[in-house]
Structure formats: C-alpha cells, structure tokens
Structure 1
Amino acid sequence: MAQESIIAPYAEVHRPENLRGAGDGRPTAIQIIEDEHLINKWSDKTVLITGGSSGIGVETARALHATGARVFITTRDNAKAESVAADILANSPSKVPIEIVFMELGSLDSVKAGVEDFRSRSDKLNILINNAGIMAAPHGHTKDGFELQFGTNHLSHFLLTKLLLPTLIASSTPEFASRIVNLSSNGHLYHNKGGLTPEVFADLDFKQTPYNEWAAYGRSKTANILHANRLERLYGSSPDHPVHAFSLHPGGITTALWRHQGDMVATRLQGFASIWKSPEQGAATSVWCAVAKVWEGKAGRYCENCQESVPVQENPKMGDPGYGPWAKDPVAEQKLWEMSEEMVAPWLK
C-alpha cells in the first residue's frame, strides 16, 4: 500500500522530530473522543473492555465512558475496579454507571462465567476491546494447562470473542458496524521473527525448545494480530451485520505490564525516552480504532500511533514502526483459528 493512501490523521505529531516523550503533543485517548465529537453522543452503545482496572485499560475506559456509552470493564480485582470506576465517574461528563465483570483470563471457566454475567445484564455489544495481557512472564501455565502468555493473551480473548460474537453481530448495523479491537504489540516483530511457523505451532508450550519469555510474548502478540485478521475475513463483509476487527501496537508505556522485568523498565525508558508515551497517550490508538468515523464502512487493519500501520522496513531498529510479513500470513491465520477452536472447544458447549 502506498504511503500516501494510509489513514493517518495524526501523522504530523508522530514524526520523529516532534517526539518529546510522555506527555508531548501526541493525542490522548480523551482527545480522540473530543476530536470525533463524541462526548455524550453514544448513549445507544455498549462497550466491553478487558483489563479495564489497570494500565491503559483505565484510560481506555475513561475515554469511552465520556461518550455516554454503557461501559463494562473486566477485572480480577473487584475492589480495585470499583475504585477505578468511582474515579472515572467522578470526573466524567457522563453519569452512566460503569459496570464490572469479574474475569480471570488465566481460567477459561472464569472467561465463560464472565460472559454469562455480561449477557445477563446486556443484550447489546457494539465495541469489544481485548486489552488485558501479560508480558515476558516466567514459564508457567494457565489453570487449563496452556502456556501462560499464549493462554492469557490469546486463547482467553479468543474464547471471549467467540462467545460474544452473536451479540456483536446482532448489535451491528450498516450504519455502525460492531468493532473488535485486539491489543497486540511491536513485540510480534522483535520477539517473534518469522511468525507462527509450523515449528512454533508444534511447540507452543516450549516442550521441545528452551523457554524464552520474550519469544513467548511475541508469539502471543502475533496471535492477537492473526486473530483480528481472521475475524475481519469471516465477519467484516456481511452486508447487514458486519463486524470489523482491528489489532494494534499501543506504544511503549510504563505500566504494570512491565512487572516481570524489574530494572529493564528504567533502561528502556532511558534508551527510548523520546518515543515513550503516557498511559493516556498509550490508550489513544485503541480508542481511535474503536470510535473513529474514518473507519466506518472499511475493513479493520493493524494500527499504531493512531494511524494505519505499514509493512516494516528492512533491518528495523527497536521502536521503528511497521508490522512483519508474518502478521499477514493467511496460512498461519487459518491454522491458528482452527487450533484455537480445538483448544477452547470444551468451553464452547
């Protein structure tokens, strides 16, 4: 795709010479809402955000709540979520209550129970933001025996999305198609070179190769992109009830996502200070994918810096924009979908 044809309304403030680090001129999530003229304009819409009580999930919820939409946030800490919801509500132009759904993404039983809880309270869902995740965690497994990062970052959201698709489809109209937003990372590029190859699929649990926390993270983030691609392929072209799916890199942000890395946070922040974002800025691309009018009637894409992304240049440096060719691999996309369906089949009954 030619550079001039990409959707990039905030390109100027993201030029390298304009970057000054967290809090610079790059847009925040609430600025996206303001720029789209959506303050208290979405009283007819319902949004669900995973991990809405920490990190950029909080700022995503804060911005989308300002639209007047009915906002649900998932959490594994109800007390923390209640505190976050109270803070958002106290400072938001909308007074619609924020609703909390308990969901432990390391347990597919918990994901299914959370979906049932949501469905008991709402028969509508216009926006699903698969935001929650873990990064570079020590080798471990979910409660269901899946490698921890793949299971948490991909499989839990695969099941969640699969169970909520009927509601997303029913809520979609030609005037406003439902949207699914998967948070990926440029970690798919730097920590998973080559993508989900047959060898990777054959050893998702690192039984045959030594565990590497960054490789595992990269696999899960590649899966987030391929999942969105498959959703778009299967559901985006419906004439009456389309569902569009996006994936994105939110940028480098200091949040609890880094909790497994200790002193590396300070090192990364120092080395890439100019491109680092505040949590408010880090949530902007998620919100842009979820609400921007420019996407109405268009297929979902992989995005970063509040714009459509482009293929990565040769020999990229850490922090360079773009996606790897394996993020557009239709063979891996289909294989991942089929394997994921098999893995979560017991929870689809």
Structure 2
Amino acid sequence: MSRYAAPHVDPKGPGDARPTALQIVQDEGFEGKLTGKVAVVTGVSSGLGIETVKALAATGATLFLTARNLAKAEAALAEIFDPSTMTLVQMDQASLESVRIAAQTILSKTTQISLLVANAGVMAIPDLRLTDKGHEMQFATNHLSHFLFFNLLKSALLTGSSSAFQSRVVILSSAGHRIGGINSSDNYHYENGEYNPWAAYAQSKTANVYMANEIERRYASQGLHAYSLHPGISATGIIGQLTSEEVMGLDQGAATTIYAAISKELEGRGGLYLNDCSEAAMGEQDGNPMSGKSAPHSFHPENEARLWKDSLEMVGLSD
C-alpha cells in the first residue's frame, strides 16, 4: 500500500494532510537528483501543468514543455521559468502536423528522454467537432496527439532509460473513463452518429489507459514503463489569478502525476491506473463516474491491441 493512502481516506479540502506535488519530490529524495536527465510535459499553460512543472523543476531535470499558446504559457510559468533548464515548444494537439514539428524540435536538442508526462487535454466538447484529418476533437487531442508524440519520442525514451531510473510515460486519464469504453473501429469519430460529449470524453480517457497498458506490454522489457491516472483538483487560468487555497489545491492535484513520474514504489513496474498517489482498486460499473477505482473495462488486452493498431493507421505510422 502507498504511504499516501491514509491522508486520502477522509480529505478535508485544499491544504489538508494530502501530499503536494513538491512534497512527493521531497519524500522520494529526488530534489536535484534528476540533473542531466530530460523530462517532457505537454499542456503547461495553466492548472495542473504548471504545478507539475514546478515539482519537476525541483528535481533538476532539463524540461521541454509544450503548449498551444506560448505567450500564455510564458506568463503562467514566469516565476519559475529558467531558459537554461526549460524550453517551451509550441504544439497544437488538434493538429498532427504540429505534433510532428514539436517532436522534431525536441529531438533536435536531445537524443535521450527519461520522462514524458502527457498532461494536456480537453473535456466534454458540446458538439461534434472534427480535426482537419476527420478525427473527433476529444479523441484527437487527448489520445491521438499523445500517441503520435510518444511514438516519435520513443527511441529517445528507450535511450534515456537506465538501471538507476527507467524511463516513464505518465498519461493523465480521468475517473471519467468509467463512463464508457472505446467505440468500434469504424466509429471512433462518431461516423455512425449519436455523438455524446461525455461518452466521447470517456472514450478518449479510456484510450489513455489503454495506451499506457500497451506501452507497458510492448516496452517494459526494454526499461520503458507507463502509467495512467486520475489527477486531483484542477482549475483553469494563470496561477497569479487564483486564490492561495486554489493554488494549494492544484499543488495537491498534481501529486499523483509526480508520484507516477518518480515514485520508487513504482520503479520497474507499470501498466497501472493510479489515483490518490497509489494504485487504484479495480471497480465495478456502479454508476459513479467519479469513483477512485478503475472501470471494469480498464484492462482489456484485446481492445488495447486493437486501439494501438488503429491509432497507428490514423496517425500515419507503421508498427
């Protein structure tokens, strides 16, 4: 059982006994310990992305940070941005071409990556919207963009793995994955109609879980592990516009992300769905979409393999 299980049993709100992201870094003894290693984080212009960056900055890692709006990201990260250790890269996750360019930019500066945090995402778009490739927007932004990004950075992640710290991919899913699984291969983008914003969100978040599971299955033997998770409290807007209580809530909200990224309890093992800084229990489909448990469909090797194969085709890659 995780050392952080007890404080999550009866949460009292922002600032309670639950750990913050920075506390995880300190508890794990990682302050300044990742100097010389590279971490990549997507979606750093607001909310949990900022708190994730703050905590990872304390590890000493060199950070490559992506955002659709660079000006917004620069303003949000102004208090911690250090050009010598952080590089901002523009990436619009609704555009596969933008993802490719961002990956090329990063790989032109480093050949070894030890950590990829897939943080960016959108939620419950009210009407069916398609990208220029005909992909449903939530599925494209939350899943396909990160799938392509991972595959383009994969060689660097494998090269960056070491016996002391095996490379990790941390994918922010959501308790919302419990609402439903993935569609059939001919209906990922609601080609057959009946679009529902929450069902589409659930599909994209289940896809996040499946991607992490399949990464683990394919690459664990090469020292590359992956985790999906439900993050904690989230909020929008630049940190300077939030109250101190909201900022504390965000710091606690990013704790599970940082736990997945560096926890020694997880070293050498992945393919896990995490919640509240620990491995989540397997749950039944009980009608509670915000349950901390994973859904019954969360671990499904056949659908995971099917999604991987279909995703390769959608982003124009071969296996």
* TM-score for the superposition, normalised by structure 1: 0.84
Matched, 1:344 2:304: no
**Counterpart in 2 of 1:165?**
154
Deviations 1:219-277 (A, max 9, x none): 00000000000000000123xxx100000000342336xxxxxxxxxxxxxxxxxxxx8
Contact 2:207 2:307 in 1 (8 A): yes
Partner of 1:10: 4
Residue aligning to 1:51: 43
1:79-121: CA deviations, max 9, x gaps?
122223321248xxxx953210110000000000000111111
- The answer to whether the aligner puts 1:196 opposite 2:182 as a matched pair is yes
RMSD: 1.9
1:250 paired to 2:231: yes
| Mapped pair 1:324 → 2:295 | yes
8 Å contact 2:233–2:250 — kept in the other structure?
A: no
Q: Is the 8 A contact 2:119 2:172 kept in 1?
A: yes
* Secondary structure in structure 1 of the residue aligned to 2:40: strand
Alignment correspondent of 2:103: 115
Alignment correspondent of 1:126? 114
Q: Look up the match of 1:310.
A: 281
Give, in whole Å, the separation in 1 of the partners of 2:144 and 2:271: 20
Deviation at 1:319, TM superposition (A): 3.0
Question: Where does residue 289 of structure 1 map in the other structure?
Answer: 260
Asked whether 1:79 is paired with 2:63, we answer: no
Instruction: Work out whether residues 46 and 126 of structure 1, in 8 Å CA contact, stay in contact via their aligned partners in 2.
Output: yes
* Contact 2:118–2:172 (CA under 8 A) maintained in structure 1: yes
Residues 48, 235 of structure 2: 8 Å contact kept: no
2:80 aligned counterpart, secondary structure: helix
Does structure 2 conserve the Cα–Cα contact (< 8 Å) formed by 1:29 and 1:63?
yes
Q: What is the CA–CA distance in structure 2 between the aligned matches of 1:196 and 1:281, rounded to whole Å? A: 30
Q: State the 1:173 CA deviation.
A: 1.7
Match of 1:186 among 171, 175, 184: 175
Q: CA deviation at 1:314?
A: 5.5
In the superposition, the TM-score normalised over structure 2's length comes to 0.92
Q: Which amino acid aligns with 1:317?
A: N
Asked if 2 retains the 8 angstrom alpha-carbon contact of 1:106 and 1:148, the reply is yes
Question: How many equivalent pairs are there?
Answer: 308
Cα distance in 1 for residues equivalent to 2:207 and 2:175: 12
* Alignment correspondent of 1:209: 193
In the alignment, which of 268, 271, 278 is matched to residue 249 of structure 2?
278
Cα contact 1:74–1:101 (8 A) shared by 2: yes
Find the aligned partners of 2:104 and 2:190 in 1 and give their Cα distance. Answer: 33
- Fraction of identical pairs, as percent: 41
Contact 1:50–1:57 (Cα < 8 Å) also in 2: yes
1:113 counterpart SS class: helix
Opposite residue 196 of structure 1, the aligned amino acid is I
Name the CA distance, whole Å, in 1 between partners of 2:107 and 2:183: 37
Cα 1:323–1:137, aligned 2, differ >3 Å: closer, same or farther? same
TM superposition shift of 1:202: 2.5
Unpaired segments ≥5 residues, structure 2: 238-247
Q: Give the AA of the match of 1:319.
A: M
Indicate if the aligned counterparts of 1:52 and 1:73 stay in contact, CA closer than 8 A: yes
Query: What is the DSSP-based 3-state SS (H/G/I as helix, E as strand, rest coil) of the residue aligned with 2:214?
Result: helix
Distance 1:109 1:123 in 2: 21
Q: Secondary structure at the match of 1:87?
A: coil
- Counterpart of 1:328, as a letter, is F
- Contact 1:197-1:332 within 8 A present in 2 as well: no
**Structure 2 equivalent of residue 152 of structure 1:** 141
CA distance in 2: counterparts of 1:82 and 1:196, whole angstroms: 35
CA distance 1:153–1:34, change in 2 (3 Å) = same
